[in-house]
Structure 1
Amino acid sequence: MTDLNVHSGEATLAGEVRGDGPALVFLHAGVADRRMWDGVVETVAGTHRTVAYDRRGFGGTPPHKEAYSHTNDLLAVLDAAGISHATLVGCSQGGKVALDFTLAHPERVSALVLVAPAVGGAPAVDTFPQDVEALLEDLEAAEESEDLDRLNLLEARVWLDGVLGAEGRVQGDLRDLFVEMNGVALQAAPQVGEETPPPPAWPRLGEIAVPTLLVWGDLDFPHAQERCQTMSELIPDARGRVMHGTAHLPSFEDPESFSTLLTDFLTEVEQTDRP
């Protein structure tokens, strides 16, 4: 493993590079940092060059009070690592970064793997099932009271256990790591500058011209699952896969099963690209 420290604006983005071969860049969720990918990277670094980095205010990347662009930060990472084009693997907010970057710099992306991605401009959700609504109200109350410890535990309930899963479903090292990663992000959030928003991606999904894999868990928000299914139909060369018994972070919960989906997809894409 080689450390990667990338300057973008006033920020120094902390990352790491492993392995050799076609490039894979991993983009973490908004409740995690690059460590959420460790179980996957350990598997695929034998056949690929992997890059994982922490966005501003996450993990080893300190926050800065400056306007910034996630797209520009990712471009700086690719350039610093000497990567001309890569497969982007993004979860949740990391998936949004991957989508926005692909639309802005299509020549730098060879394929997309989107795990329960957020999407700019996606249809708004007006109503939730009653039990889900109650969880969201608890989250909102914790945010308003600025009780970060309680908020962290509630976010573990929502994003790790899943709104359709039992409370405390995921335990042990995974839960401890989630709470640690998300705790850093919650503490840093007030010091992160304002993001310059990219154009909404949802109306432009039909423009994505690279092979795309969408993955989601069946214990995630119902609207998130429906959105992934719709995206697999709107993106021209896309396919969708459900990971049963997982929630919003299926690649973190079950890296072995996710790695199988990922390597199968990469094999398909790379064989197609061969002359």
Structure 2
Amino acid sequence: MDATQQTVTTPDGTAIAVTRRHGGGQAVVFLHAGVADRRSWDAVAALLDDDDLDLVAYDRRGYGETPAADDPASFTHAADLLTVLDALGLDRVFLVGNSMGGALALDAALLLPEQVTGLLLIGAGVSGMTDDDTPFDWELDPATEPLLDRAEDASADVEARIAALAHLWLDGPVAPEGRVGGAPRELFADMNRRILEVGAPDSAGDNGIEAWTRLGEVSAPVTCTWGDLDIPADLPFYAEIARRLDQGPARVLPGVAHLPGLEQPDLVAGLVRDTLPR
């Protein structure tokens, strides 16, 4: 099916950029990572073209073609998601969330339990996540720490920051730099030039949900996955998310890092097929 590009206007007049592949059937909404935009799902959605699904991806505020809010506290990402769903006439949706998109998916499952039919989490964050109530601490390893420092250095050259971000999130910090090349790497760089240019704070659009202590309340079926090449300090947290959700074993994805939809879209398309409610 052909992908259509459209905008959905929020109550405050913000135009949210949306890509939709409307094949009927179940609605699947893809929620992108904080180092990506809606284009990170294009290859996955294309592989699902023949699956009779209604596939939607959109840019959150400050990403891709959706402008940032002047006041980061003037909106919530959950309200924007609901606006998109209402505008597209989607009453029941399956959410696929990567990283920060996973955090939004979990918040939405708590806020909109009647609309969310299930979740596929890929290296997901969780609102309110902390190591204060875990038997382990978040401690950076020697490979990750210098990459994170370079990526967050606002005084550094933009391309140098993007190179560090790509090694950190696309290759995986313990893998060789450039492990993932070609079109996925070029797309990653393009998405992050825009993200760095806009500079929206990570706290923008906070939903006011402390999902970390409420994961046991999520009623929708959830599948937790993460790449084994992701940041080592984050791996125990992914396992802890699955433990708190208590919905069965997680799936560790071999040979991929934080953005498997970019480097192995066929893997993620298969996960969507496997986890959609029947």
Q: Aligned equivalents of 1:2 and 1:172: distance in 2?
A: 25
Corresponding residue of 1:61:
66
Q: Aligned equivalents of 1:190 and 1:260: distance in 2?
A: 33
1:56, 1:63 within 8 Å by CA — same for their partners in 2? Answer: yes
CA separation of 1:173 and 1:149: change in aligned 2, threshold 3 A: same
Verify: 1:148 aligned to 2:158, yes or no.
yes
The CA RMSD over aligned residues, in Å, is 1.9
CA separation of 1:190 and 1:23: change in aligned 2, threshold 3 A: closer
**1:220-239 Cα distance to aligned partner (Å, 9 max, x none):** 01232222222222113344
Superposition pairs of residues 11-50 of structure 1, within 5 angstroms: 11-18=14-21, 19-46=23-50, 47-50=52-55
From the two aligned structures, give the one with the greater helix fraction: 1
TM-score (norm 2): 0.90
Q: Aligned equivalents of 1:118 and 1:244: distance in 2?
A: 19
Gaps of 5+ in 2: 132-136
Superposition pairs of residues 255-270 of structure 1, within 5 angstroms: 255-266=265-276, 269-270=277-278
Q: Aligned equivalents of 1:189 and 1:48: distance in 2?
A: 34
Verify: 1:98 aligned to 2:98, yes or no.
no
TM-score (norm 1): 0.91
* Identical residues among aligned pairs (%): 39
Verify: 1:10 aligned to 2:17, yes or no.
no
2:20, 2:54 within 8 Å by CA — same for their partners in 1? Answer: yes
Q: Aligned equivalents of 1:194 and 1:259: distance in 2?
A: 30
Question: Structure 2: which amino acid aligns with 1:89?
Answer: V
The offset of 1:243, in angstroms, is 1.4
- Quick one: which of 82, 86, 109 aligns to 2:89? 82
- Quick one: which of 219, 229, 233 aligns to 1:219? 229
Divergent runs of 4+, >6 A: none
1:218, 1:246 within 8 Å by CA — same for their partners in 2? Answer: yes
Q: Aligned equivalents of 1:61 and 1:199: distance in 2?
A: 23
The offset of 1:192, in angstroms, is 9.6
Corresponding residue of 2:129:
122
The offset of 1:193, in angstroms, is 9.2
2:16, 2:58 within 8 Å by CA — same for their partners in 1? Answer: yes
The offset of 1:207, in angstroms, is 0.4
The offset of 1:28, in angstroms, is 0.7
Report SS of the residue matched to 2:223: strand
Question: Structure 1: which amino acid aligns with 2:89?
Answer: G
Larger deviation, residues 118-127 vs 72-81 = 118-127
Q: Aligned equivalents of 2:6 and 2:187: distance in 1?
A: 22
Superposition pairs of residues 168-183 of structure 1, within 5 angstroms: 168-183=178-193
2:143, 2:174 within 8 Å by CA — same for their partners in 1? Answer: no
CA separation of 1:163 and 1:16: change in aligned 2, threshold 3 A: same
The offset of 1:198, in angstroms, is 1.8
